[in-house]
């Protein structure tokens, strides 16, 4: 293993040493730092996958080269392809000059593909080819461009389930996950909470020129709360504490959220059990002889997801915001699922 950079040792190594689970993440980063292996970061929203990606870059021998981030969920497919690979002048309406893509900007450095599970299927094949030989052409161009780039990807989705549903290429999944790093949720590393909160307080004090302390009562609430939004939720709570200067308001918010989480758990517990699965032989018997195993699994997963979503929506009387909170997905994702699974809104409900 090559010597680790000073930036990594001073900025990231201490950050990753506050809990046993994050020490495991730190050890994996240091083991693969001097390789070009593709890394897939997995974990819930807000756990700090961006920080881990930057730690990987800082620990590698590319630390003095560019670190380029692209959120795959932030742009539509046509713009996303141009962002990744660039385009030539005149390639499409509005392409008034040549544009370099993120892969070119990340040459000799690291490219971080955040929310890679949201990558449109139409782009997955092209990304796979780039991962295999690090060569591509800009949109509208013929020149093959070769880059030397380390790829780090991140997702909070269950990619195995996405593969079964045909939403994510199986070959791309295996190519991305040469090394997998699971970033644990904040509730599994509670010993970090007060240290993180203290660091955020110090940062926001400097930014806003406010003097605020975390009281013992608030500290206890911070450590007891489950933080479903993870580090990002904690950061936002501390930001409000510093900006507003009213600890009692933050305490009330945390108590209210904790009660809401308990209510959600009780609601899910009270849902009727799922219908028993038909024996495999019955499923196969009801299927065309030439239907592949993946098609059977994909269809079964689709139907199971449809039933589960329908039960939650019925339980909350089709309150989509409430259903999204219970299922821990965005409102937009929930609407897409309702449409994809062909769930019809009951009469009288908008």
HEC profile for the chain?
Answer: CCCCCHHHHHHHCCHHHCCHHHHHHHHHHHHHCCCCCCEEEECCCCCCHHHHHHHHHHHCCCCCCCEEEEECCCCCHHHHHHHHHCECCCCCCCCCCCECCHHHHCCCCEEEEECHHHCCHHHHHHHHHHHHHCEECCECCCCCEECCCEEEEEECCCHHHHHHCCCCCHHHHHHHCCEEEECCCHHHCHHHHHHHHHHHHHHHHHHHCCCCCCCHHHHHHHHHCCCCCHHHHHHHHHHHHHHHCCHHHHHHHHHHHHHHHHHHHHHHHHCCCCCCCCCHHHHHHCCCCCCCHHHHHHHHHHHHHHHHHHHHHHHCCCCHHHHHHHHCCCHHHHHHHHHHCCCCCCCCCC
Q: Do the beta carbons of residue 11 and residue 58 sit within 8 Å? A: yes
Which of 74-78, 130-134, 326-330 has the highest mean predicted lDDT (pLDDT)? Answer: 130-134
Percentage of the chain beyond pLDDT 70 is 88
pLDDT tops 50 at residue 280: no
Q: Do the beta carbons of residue 119 and residue 170 sit within 8 Å? A: no
**Minimal CA–CA distance to 125: which of 92, 77, 75, 67?**
77
Q: Do the beta carbons of residue 67 and residue 110 sit within 8 Å? A: yes
**Minimal CA–CA distance to 114: which of 194, 180, 45, 55?**
45
Distance CA 182, CA 190 (A): 17
Is the pTM here over 0.85, yes or no?
no
Distance CA 160, CA 80 (A): 23
pLDDT (0 to 100) of residue 181? 97
Count of C-beta atoms within a 10 Å radius of residue 315: 17
pLDDT tens digit sequence for 179-233: 999 999 999 999 999 999 999 999 999 999 988 889 999 999 999 999 999 999 9
pLDDT tops 60 at residue 277: no
**Minimal CA–CA distance to 102: which of 117, 119, 80?**
80
- When pLDDT is cut at 50, 70 and 90, the band that residue 285 belongs to is very low
pLDDT (0 to 100) of residue 202? 94
The domains of the chain are located at 6-184, 189-269, 275-340
Which of 74-78, 131-135, 246-250, 310-314 has the highest mean predicted lDDT (pLDDT)? Answer: 131-135
Contacts of 251 (CB under 8 A, 6+ apart): 217, 218, 221
User: What value does the mean pLDDT take over residues 245-269?
Assistant: 83
Note the CATH architecture for domain 6-184.
3-Layer(aba) Sandwich (3.40)
Is 275-340 CATH 3.40.630? no
Least confident interval from 35-39, 131-135, 205-209, 327-331? 327-331
- When pLDDT is cut at 50, 70 and 90, the band that residue 113 belongs to is very high
Least confident interval from 72-81, 121-130, 131-140? 72-81
Which of 1-5, 33-37, 320-324 has the highest mean predicted lDDT (pLDDT)? Answer: 33-37
Distance CA 47, CA 51 (A): 9
Is 189-269 CATH 1.10.8.60? yes
pLDDT tops 90 at residue 336: no
């Amino acid at each position: 293993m090559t010597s680790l950079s000073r930036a990594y040792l001073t900025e990231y190594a201490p950050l990753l040493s506050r809990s046993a689970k994050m020490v495991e993440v730190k050890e994996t980063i240091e083991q693969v730092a001097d390789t070009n292996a593709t890394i897939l970061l997995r974990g819930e929203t807000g756990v700090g996958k961006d920080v881990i990606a930057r730690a990987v870059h800082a620990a590698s021998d590319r630390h003095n080269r560019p670190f380029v981030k692209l959120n795959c969920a932030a742009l539509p497919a046509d713009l996303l392809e141009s962002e990744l690979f660039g385009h030539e002048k005149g390639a499409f309406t509005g392409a008034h000059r040549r544009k370099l893509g993120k892969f070119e900007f990340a040459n000799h450095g690291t490219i971080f593909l955040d929310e890679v599970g949201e990558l449109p299927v139409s782009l997955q094949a092209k990304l796979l080819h780039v991962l295999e030989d690090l060569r591509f052409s800009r949109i509208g161009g013929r020149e093959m461009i070769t880059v030397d780039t380390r790829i780090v990807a991140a997702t909070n989705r269950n990619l195995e389930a996405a593969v079964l549903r045909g939403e994510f290429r199986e070959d791309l999944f295996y190519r991305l996950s040469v090394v997998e790093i699971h970033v644990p949720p904040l509730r599994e590393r509670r010993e970090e909470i007060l240290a993180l909160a203290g660091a955020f307080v110090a940062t926001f004090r400097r930014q806003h020129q406010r003097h605020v302390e975390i009281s013992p009562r608030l500290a206890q609430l911070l450590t007891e709360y489950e933080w479903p939004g993870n580090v990002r939720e904690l950061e936002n709570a501390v930001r409000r504490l510093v900006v507003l200067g009213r600890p009692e308001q933050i305490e009330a918010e945390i108590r209210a959220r904790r009660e809401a989480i308990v209510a959600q758990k009780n609601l899910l517990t009270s849902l009727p059990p799922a219908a028993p699965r038909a024996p495999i032989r019955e499923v196969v018997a009801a299927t065309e002889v030439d239907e592949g195993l993946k098609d059977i699994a994909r269809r079964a997963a689709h139907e199971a997801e449809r039933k589960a979503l329908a039960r939650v929506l019925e339980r909350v009387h089709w309150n989509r915001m409430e259903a999204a909170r219970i299922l821990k997905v965005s409102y937009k994702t929930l609407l897409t699922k309702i449409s994809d699974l062909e769930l019809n809104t009951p009469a009288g409900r908008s």
